[in-house]
Chain A
Amino acid sequence: MKKLSALILAVLFLAAVCTGCKKPADPNAKGEGVMTYAEYIAAAVDAPVVIETFVQAKQSWWDNKATLYTQDQDGAYFIYNMTCSEADYAKLVPGTKIKVTGFKGEWSGEVEVAEGATFEIEEGSYIATAVDLTGLFGTDELIKHQNEFFAVKGAVVEAIGQNDAGEDVAFFYKWNNSGEDGDDLYFKVKINGQVFTFTVESYLCDKTTDVYAAVKALKVGDVIDLEGFLYWYEGANPHITKVVVK
């Protein structure tokens, strides 16, 4: 009898040990009732959506509303004005896994989880590495990477306009240079022979950040590597987070 008991205990012990040996939970595994990225993309505008995703960057918090750039291993989700207390916003550091419940929206081409979604923080962490999209700018494939953290290499800075003295300048404060230091920065780059307008979104990267200073220091003709989020406004309108002049 003692042997039998010892055997049962040994089996139970081994079972417990084996359970503990399991690989950590797949950060990309979806909980019950949660959409995959493909299901999210297939959902109609205004349809209810439930997603699990990982915070990559925070754009802003105001009046209990948070705007986030998030991503899982399959794709990215821009979350606009999600209901969020200031205390909870502080917890949303890059990598944090969140389950978001809301409705799908589309605003000027930007697909997003619309204003008023709710969320809960879950176990898990994931930081996306920048995917190199240099070859996709100017192609129909680019939109499939909407909102992703991306990189472009070897872009050439183009003049965005002229200053009051009629000289070419590499960046504007606001889209038409009507702003001032601290406002969004706009600049143009040539990639694959086509010119695109990129933005340093001042809520995401304010005037104290390296990228803000780097763009202000750009000169027409500079060759640069960039990183950022592939935001959309009537076409690709990336929000840039890093610029390195080659």
Chain B
Amino acid sequence: MKKALCLLLSVLLLVPLFSACHGSKGLKAFELPEAFDETREYTVVFWAKNDTNKTQVNIYKKAIEDFEALYPNIRVELRLYTDYGKIYNDVITNISTGTTPNVCITYPDHIATYLTGENVMVPLDALMDDPRYGLGGSEVRFDSPKRDEVITRYLDEGVIGGEHWALPFMRSTEALYVNRDYVEKLGYTLPDVVTWDFIWEVSEAALRKNDDGTYFLNGGTVMIPFIYKSSDNMMIQYLKQAGAGYSDGDGTIGIFNETTESFLYEIAEHAKSRAFSTFKISSYPGNFLNAGQCVFGIDSTAGATWMGSKAGHQDISSDKLADFEMAVLPIPQLDPDHPVMISQGPSVTIFNKPDSGEVLASWLFAQFLLTNGVQIAYAQTEGYVPVTEKARKDPAYADYLARAGEDADLHYSVKLAATKLLLENVENTFITPVFNGSASLRDAAGQLIESTAKSARRNETVDKAYMEKLFKNVNALYRLDQRGENAVGKKELGPMPASSIALLSALGAAWIGIGAYVLINIAKKKKR
């Protein structure tokens, strides 16, 4: 009888072991606690991104200080990054060890990957709508924006699979920064919105040289007329303007199409002539613009404080700065009457923890980042815009906008022009579909341009055969044909491999054999 009991216990012991072999359980889904426990101490780890901007760092620190004063039982630990990619990599690493931060500045593309882990993230809908601790909630100790005071368009950028997984923190877009003097010196008039045809034509004209071999525009030996900082955005926005494929909400890849191919031929032509280059090939557009070695630079509005010879941030020595009039325009368009531009910028997301009180503390801090004080202060550091109507309507913000050009620091004219560009074009912005793999697709979009530009500069033949090979290589390099297979955490593993089935069957058979042997022996003993 004892042996039978042992056998039974052994089998019961093995069952969970086998169960654990194929996928593992994650955290329990978050449930909002009855009330925030003020008698307990909480630590909220906050991973934040700054643009290597000391003022932004100080704003985070002040936000933490102000928040901790309101909630003395919550301590916020700040960890700073200057690169979204690094945050993404660290989060991925920490998901597997259960050591994610509590609150994290991130991009929706990245959240889509985090979501492949079971209950790694906290859905925000219930939190936002909670009458006590939600947006504008009665128990919140600060002047929190109500849900309808957060700009819906931006709030909805955090929706994945029908639920909100992120709060918007700041928004920016891309701007075309132009040396207006150079455009006019070439005999052109700069329109309010330029077309792609205009920018290519002027860029080619800017390569004109004097008899001594120096460039007509600057009398120097360096001139890169058109430099694009983010080649992935370049491709994404062009395809959107053209109404061509990129991807759909289900994650179906549509980027390898005829519009992409024809745009790449155009890029090849102007890269070969040296009228066009990218950040990866040549460096920051701002450095060349500010030195009078570039006519058109496209960069984020969140990089506006580096643009212009009077900008507060400079990477080149003062003796190399050129004096010129800077124009800030929307990126080039296919249809100037209906401009289209990307919406980008950091969002805030919350990671799940076993302690629901800790998650609630995290939520309160995330919500604090939407208060007017934080929103306005951070937006003023660059060409960002606040994500709440509440902040935009604040008299302090209106005053800030009205004082453009009063100084070259807080009211720097180029920064304010970039900010206004986005404020006036909110309805013309778009985002790309978010899914597990959308971050790779974005990288692939940029790689198509980088590879084509490099090949053209190196006098390689860029033709139909080249494009077929490029599409195939980029598809393979970014695993766009294996989307979802590299997901993090729990995933659909599909049917068990035959070898595993055979191994488990053999183990099962062995245990059945052992069991039968034991039972026969027991029976034999009983007979005796």
Q: B283 contacts A108, CB within 8 Å?
A: yes
Q: A178 contacts B50, CB within 8 Å?
A: yes
Cβ-closest chain A residue relative to B316 = A234
Map CB proximity to A onto B292-318 as digits: 1 under 8 Å, 0 otherwise. Answer: 000000000000000000000001110
In whole angstroms, what is the CA distance A233 to B82 when docked?
19
| Chain B hits for A46, CB < 8 A | 454, 457-458
Q: B80 contacts A178, CB within 8 Å?
A: yes
A118 within 8 A of B: no
Q: A234 contacts B282, CB within 8 Å?
A: no
Q: Given A103-B458, A105-B281, A107-B283, are A178 and B315 also a contact pair (CB < 8 Å)?
A: no
Q: A178 contacts B53, CB within 8 Å?
A: yes
Map CB proximity to B onto A32-62 as digits: 1 under 8 Å, 0 otherwise. Answer: 0000000000000010100000000000000
In whole angstroms, what is the CA distance A174 to B50 when docked?
12
| Chain B hits for A234, CB < 8 A | 287, 315-317, 320
A180 within 8 A of B: yes
B284 within 8 A of A: yes
Q: Given A46-B458, A107-B282, A107-B283, are A176 and B317 also a contact pair (CB < 8 Å)?
A: no
A179 within 8 A of B: yes
Q: A108 contacts B458, CB within 8 Å?
A: no
| Chain B hits for A126, CB < 8 A | none
B177 to chain A minimum Cβ distance, whole angstroms, is 18
Map CB proximity to A onto B360-380 as digits: 1 under 8 Å, 0 otherwise. Answer: 000000000000000000000
B54 within 8 A of A: yes
A221 within 8 A of B: no
A135 within 8 A of B: no
In whole angstroms, what is the CA distance A107 to B102 when docked?
38
B487 within 8 A of A: no
Q: B54 contacts A180, CB within 8 Å?
A: no
In whole angstroms, what is the CA distance A148 to B458 when docked?
27
Within A161-189, the residues touching B (CB, 8 Å) are 174-180
Map CB proximity to A onto B268-296 as digits: 1 under 8 Å, 0 otherwise. Answer: 00000000000011111001000000000
> Interface residues of A, CB < 8 Å — how many?
19
Cβ-closest chain B residue relative to A106 = B282
Q: A108 contacts B52, CB within 8 Å?
A: no
| Chain B hits for A175, CB < 8 A | 52
In whole angstroms, what is the CA distance A59 to B206 when docked?
38
B174 to chain A minimum Cβ distance, whole angstroms, is 21
B194 within 8 A of A: no
Within B68-114, the residues touching A (CB, 8 Å) are 80, 82
Q: A178 contacts B57, CB within 8 Å?
A: yes
Q: A178 contacts B52, CB within 8 Å?
A: yes
A191 to chain B minimum Cβ distance, whole angstroms, is 16
A37 to chain B minimum Cβ distance, whole angstroms, is 22
A235 within 8 A of B: yes
Within B416-470, the residues touching A (CB, 8 Å) are 454, 457-458
In whole angstroms, what is the CA distance A27 to B440 when docked?
44
Cβ-closest chain A residue relative to B56 = A178
| Chain A hits for B80, CB < 8 A | 178-180
In whole angstroms, what is the CA distance A57 to B210 when docked?
43
| Chain A hits for B320, CB < 8 A | 234
Q: B54 contacts A176, CB within 8 Å?
A: yes
Select the residue from B50, B57, B320 with max chain A CB neighbours within 10 A: B57
Within A190-233, the residues touching B (CB, 8 Å) are 233
In whole angstroms, what is the CA distance A178 to B58 when docked?
9
Q: Given A46-B457, A46-B458, are A177 and B317 also a contact pair (CB < 8 Å)?
A: no
| Chain B hits for A48, CB < 8 A | 458
| Chain B hits for A235, CB < 8 A | 316-317
| Chain A hits for B284, CB < 8 A | 108
A164 to chain B minimum Cβ distance, whole angstroms, is 9
Q: B53 contacts A108, CB within 8 Å?
A: no
In whole angstroms, what is the CA distance A60 to B400 when docked?
44
| Chain B hits for A178, CB < 8 A | 50, 52-54, 56-57, 80, 82
In whole angstroms, what is the CA distance A234 to B319 when docked?
12
| Chain A hits for B52, CB < 8 A | 174-176, 178-179
A22 to chain B minimum Cβ distance, whole angstroms, is 40
A61 to chain B minimum Cβ distance, whole angstroms, is 15
A80 to chain B minimum Cβ distance, whole angstroms, is 11
Map CB proximity to A onto B309-334 as digits: 1 under 8 Å, 0 otherwise. Answer: 00000011100100000000000000
Cβ-closest chain B residue relative to A105 = B281
In whole angstroms, what is the CA distance A106 to B454 when docked?
12
| Chain B hits for A180, CB < 8 A | 80
In whole angstroms, what is the CA distance A233 to B320 when docked?
14
In whole angstroms, what is the CA distance A209 to B56 when docked?
30
In whole angstroms, what is the CA distance A48 to B458 when docked?
8
In whole angstroms, what is the CA distance A218 to B57 when docked?
25
In whole angstroms, what is the CA distance A114 to B451 when docked?
13
Those 8 A-B pairs whose CB atoms lie nearest each other, nearest first: A108-B283, A46-B457, A178-B54, A234-B316, A176-B54, A178-B57, A46-B458, A107-B283
Interface residues of chain B, those whose CB is within 8 Å of chain A, are 50, 52-54, 56-57, 80, 82, 280-284, 287, 315-317, 320, 454, 457-458
Given contacts A108-B315, A175-B52, A235-B316, 17 further A-B contacts (CB under 8 A): A46-B454, A46-B457, A48-B458, A107-B283, A108-B282, A108-B284, A108-B287, A114-B454, A115-B280, A176-B54, A177-B54, A178-B50, A178-B82, A179-B52, A180-B80, A234-B315, A234-B317
Sample 30 A-B pairs with CB under 8 A, ordered by A number: A46-B454, A46-B457, A46-B458, A48-B458, A103-B454, A105-B281, A107-B283, A108-B282, A108-B283, A108-B284, A108-B287, A115-B280, A174-B52, A174-B82, A175-B52, A176-B52, A176-B53, A177-B54, A178-B53, A178-B54, A178-B56, A178-B57, A178-B82, A179-B52, A233-B315, A234-B287, A234-B315, A234-B320, A235-B316, A235-B317
